[in-house]
Amino acid sequence: MDREQQKRYWHTSAHILAHAVKRQFPEVKLGTGPAIENGFYYDFYREEPFTPADIEKISKAMEEIIKQNLPVEKIFVSKEEAKELLKDEPFKLEILEGIKEDTVTFYRQGDFIDLCEGPHISSTGEVKHFKILSTAASYWRGDENRESMQRIYGISFPTREELDGYLKFLEEAKERDHRTLGPKLDLFSLHPEYGSGLIFWHPKGALIRKIIEDIWKDVHLKNGYEIVYTPHIADLSLWERSGHTGFYKENMFAPMEMDKKVFQLKPMNCPFHILIYNTKLRSYRDLPIRWAELGTVYRYEKQGVLHGLLRVRGFTQDDAHIFCTEEQIEEEVIKVLELVTFFLGKFGFYEYKIFLSTRPEKYVGNPDDWDKATIALGNALKKTGMTYEIDPGEGVFYGPKIDIKIKDCLNREWQCSTIQVDFNIPERFELKYTDKEGAYRTPILIHRAILGSIERFFGVLIEHYKGNFPFWLAPEQIRVLPISERHIPYAEKTSDVLKPHFRLQIDRRNEKINKKIRDAEEEKVPYMLIIGDKEEQSGTSALRKHKEGMIGTFTPDEIMRMLKE
C-alpha cells in the first residue's frame, strides 16, 4: 500500500471503530477520527472512562462489522438535512457550522453514518487484521477549556504478518523508549510540576552530553570554525528587526517587561551572531567566517505535543552560521556535509534520507540568487556522493535548504541535520563586506546544525542504543566489584591503575556478588571487574562484559591494553 491507500485504509478503520462504539454504547457522542502516521484514532465523549472490558466489547463489535463486509458509501446531503442527521451529535454539529459549502458529504456503512470528507476504501471487509492499541485523554479541538474526550488508538493491516510485525516493532520501541530508560539509567528527568518540556540532565546523562559537546567543539575548531557564546535574552526589538516577531511569534515565550524595556527569551541564535558580525567592517579576505555555538533556545510548544526529550520547550542547538560569498556556498556546504557524515557515523548512523527543498511560492530575495544557491546545494550533494530527493517548493521563505533524516535501528526516521541558505537576515541587518575593489557587498548567510538539538539527539541515541552506549560514550565504562569487603583494598589498587584512563567506579556495598553483577547489568555498564581471593593472589581481575558474560582473567595492564582499543 502506498501512503494514500494506507490513509484510506486507516480512515475506514477509524469509522469501523466509531461504528462499533455506537453499537455498544449508543449514548456516546462522536468527535473526530482521522488516519494518522501509524494507524488511526477516534475521539469520543462519554462520562465514564472506557474500561478494558469495554474495549474488549468494542473490539468484538469491530470484528462483526468487518465480517459483515458492509459497503462504504459516500452521500451528498444539504446542510439542512445534515443538521437533522446530526441532531444528537453536538460535536459534529459544531463542525457542520464551520462548513461554508451548501452541500456536505457523509460516509455510510450499514446503520452507521458519519459527517466526513473521505476518501475511504469500498467496504468494511477489506480491513482484515486490526488491534486497539491504547486509550488516552484529549480535549475537544485540542482546547484545554473544552470538553475532555476519550481517544482510542488502533492499527490495522491486510495481513496477519504485517500486524504481528508492527506489534513486535511497538514492543521493541517500548523497550527502547527513552522516557523509560532515562530515569531507569538515571540519565535525565523532567519536572512538569515546575514547568513542562524542560530537561534536567543528571550526572550520567550530563557526562554523555559533555563527551558529545567536547568532541563537537574540538572537531569544529579543527575545521575552521570559531566558537562564540551569546545571551539567552535580548530586547524584543532585536526580534522585530530580524522579523521573528512577525513569522515566528507563536513559538516564542511571552516577553518580559522591566522598566519600560521588553526582554525576550531567544528562540534562535542567529540574530546574536549577526550582531557580532556587525561589530566591525569585514573584508572578502575574512570570509568565510564560521561561528559555532551550543546555543540553548526556548520555543513554546503546546503541552499536548511535548514528548520526553524529543519534543521539548528548551533545547541546545549545535548551531553555526557561515558568512560567505556566493562563490563559496558550494565548498562550504561540502564541508558541512563532511562534518555531518563524520558526526552521524560516529554515533552509528549510516543511513540517511536527504531532501533538497527549493523556492516556495512566497519568498524573499531575487530568483537569480535562489537559483544559484539551489544549484550550489545540489552540486555539493552530488560531489559528496550523497543521494537526495528534491522537495519542490518546500524551502523556507528565506532560502533553499538541505534536510537530512537519519534512520535508527528500528528504521525510524529522525530529522537532525539541516543546512539553510538565508537571503532575509543579511538584508534586514544590512550585513556588508568589502570586495576586492573595495565595494560593499552583502554576504550569504548559511544556518546549519548537525545534531539538531542535543536533547533530541540524546533521546534518539538512547533509543538507538537501547541505553547500551558504546564504550567510548558510556558514562561509567567499568565497574569494579569486590566479592567481599576484604577485597576492597585490592579493588582500589586495581582501580588506581585504570582510573586515569577510564570512567570507573567501585561497588563498595555490602551486597552479594550476584546482586552486584545484576545491578551492573541492569545499569548497562559495559565491563565489570570481579575481584575475590583468587584474583587478589594472582594480581588479576575477572573481566566480564555486559550481556555477554565472563571473558577471562587478566592483569590491570592487560585490561588497559584490551579496552584501550
Residue 19 is among the residues annotated as catalytic for this protein: no
Long-range Cβ pairs for the range 359-368 (8 Å, 24+): 359/393, 359/395, 359/400, 360/393, 360/394, 360/395, 360/396, 360/397, 361/393, 362/397, 363/395, 363/397, 363/398, 364/397, 364/398, 364/423, 364/424, 364/427, 365/398, 365/399, 365/423, 365/424, 365/427
Long-range Cβ pairs for the range 485-493 (8 Å, 24+): 485/510, 487/531, 487/532, 487/533, 487/535, 487/536, 490/531, 490/535, 490/536, 491/529, 491/531
Query: How many CA atoms, within 13 angstroms, populate the side-chain half-sphere of residue 307?
Result: 8
- Catalytic residue, candidates 43, 54, 319, 403: 319
User: 10 Å Cβ neighbour count for 434?
Assistant: 15
- Is 362 an interacting residue with respect to a copy of itself (CB under 8 A)? no
Under rule CB under 8 A, which residues in 386-445 are in contact with a copy of itself? none
Comparing CB distances to a copy of itself, the nearer of 157 and 291 is 291
Q: Hey, which residues does 106 pair with through a beta bridge?
A: 75, 115
Burial status of residue 355 (CB atoms within 10 A of its CB: 0-12, 13-18, 19 or more): middle
Q: Which of 265, 402, 474, 491 binds a copy of itself (CB under 8 A)?
A: 265
- Catalytic residue, candidates 204, 266, 299, 335: 299
User: Cα 24 to the chain's mean position, in Å?
Assistant: 38
Residue 401 is among the residues annotated as catalytic for this protein: yes
Count of positions on this chain that bind a copy of itself (CB under 8 A): 58
- Is 355 an interacting residue with respect to a copy of itself (CB under 8 A)? no
Q: Which of 90, 183, 392, 552 binds a copy of itself (CB under 8 A)?
A: 183
**Cell numbers given for 285:** 579576505
> What minimum distance in Å lies between the beta carbon of 280 and a copy of itself?
8
Comparing CB distances to a copy of itself, the nearer of 61 and 270 is 270
Contact region for a copy of itself (CB under 8 A) — 291-299, 330-338, 360-368, 479-487? 291-299
Comparing CB distances to a copy of itself, the nearer of 291 and 423 is 291
> What minimum distance in Å lies between the beta carbon of 158 and a copy of itself?
42
Residue 505 is among the residues annotated as catalytic for this protein: no
> What minimum distance in Å lies between the beta carbon of 476 and a copy of itself?
11
Comparing CB distances to a copy of itself, the nearer of 7 and 447 is 447
Q: Which of 2, 101, 259, 437 binds a copy of itself (CB under 8 A)?
A: 259
Comparing CB distances to a copy of itself, the nearer of 170 and 198 is 198
Residue 564 is among the residues annotated as catalytic for this protein: no
Residue 432 is among the residues annotated as catalytic for this protein: no
- Catalytic residue, candidates 109, 150, 264, 317: 317
- Is 206 an interacting residue with respect to a copy of itself (CB under 8 A)? yes
Under rule CB under 8 A, which residues in 232-251 are in contact with a copy of itself? 232-235, 237-238
Residue 317 is among the residues annotated as catalytic for this protein: yes
DSSP, collapsed to helix, strand or coil, labels residue 557 as helix
Q: Hey, which residues does 136 pair with through a beta bridge?
A: 151
The maximal CA–CA distance of the chain, rounded, in angstroms, is 93
Q: Which of 2, 49, 254, 514 binds a copy of itself (CB under 8 A)?
A: 254
Q: Hey, which residues does 355 pair with through a beta bridge?
A: 389, 403
Contact region for a copy of itself (CB under 8 A) — 297-305, 402-410, 429-437, 545-553? 297-305
- Catalytic residue, candidates 11, 321, 372, 448: 321
From the list 242, 353, 266, 275, the residue with the least C-alpha distance to 316 is 266
Which helix (H) or strand (E) covers residue 108, if one does? Answer: strand 103-109
Comparing CB distances to a copy of itself, the nearer of 142 and 393 is 142
| Single-letter amino acid code for the residue at 167 | L
- Is 522 an interacting residue with respect to a copy of itself (CB under 8 A)? no
- Is 255 an interacting residue with respect to a copy of itself (CB under 8 A)? yes
Compute the distance between CA of residue 157 and CA of residue 118 in angstroms, rounded to an integer.
19
Q: What angle do CA 22, 24, 27 make, to 5 degrees?
A: 55
Cβ-based neighbours of 406, under 8 Å, separated by 6 or more = 344, 349, 351, 352, 413, 414, 416, 460
- Catalytic residue, candidates 11, 92, 204, 447: 447
Comparing CB distances to a copy of itself, the nearer of 303 and 538 is 303
Comparing CB distances to a copy of itself, the nearer of 48 and 193 is 193
DSSP, collapsed to helix, strand or coil, labels residue 141 as helix
Q: What angle do CA 117, 119, 121 make, to 5 degrees?
A: 140
Under rule CB under 8 A, which residues in 128-147 are in contact with a copy of itself? 144
Residue 391 is among the residues annotated as catalytic for this protein: no
Per-residue contact flags (x/-) with a copy of itself for residues 97 to 126, judged by CB under 8 A: ------------------------------
Per-residue contact flags (x/-) with a copy of itself for residues 185 to 204, judged by CB under 8 A: -x--x-x-xxxx-xxxxxx-
DSSP 127-140: --EEEEEEEEEEEG
**Cell numbers given for 301:** 510548544
Per-residue contact flags (x/-) with a copy of itself for residues 215 to 234, judged by CB under 8 A: --x--------xxxxxxxxx
> What minimum distance in Å lies between the beta carbon of 298 and a copy of itself?
7
Cβ-based neighbours of 140, under 8 Å, separated by 6 or more = 31, 43, 45, 91, 146, 147, 148, 149
List the catalytic residues: 270, 299, 317, 319, 321, 401, 447
Binding residues vs a copy of itself (CB under 8 A): 144, 183, 186, 189, 191, 193-196, 198-203, 206-207, 209-210, 214, 217, 226-235, 237-238, 253-259, 261, 263, 265, 272, 275-276, 279-280, 285, 291, 296, 298, 300, 302-303, 314, 508-509
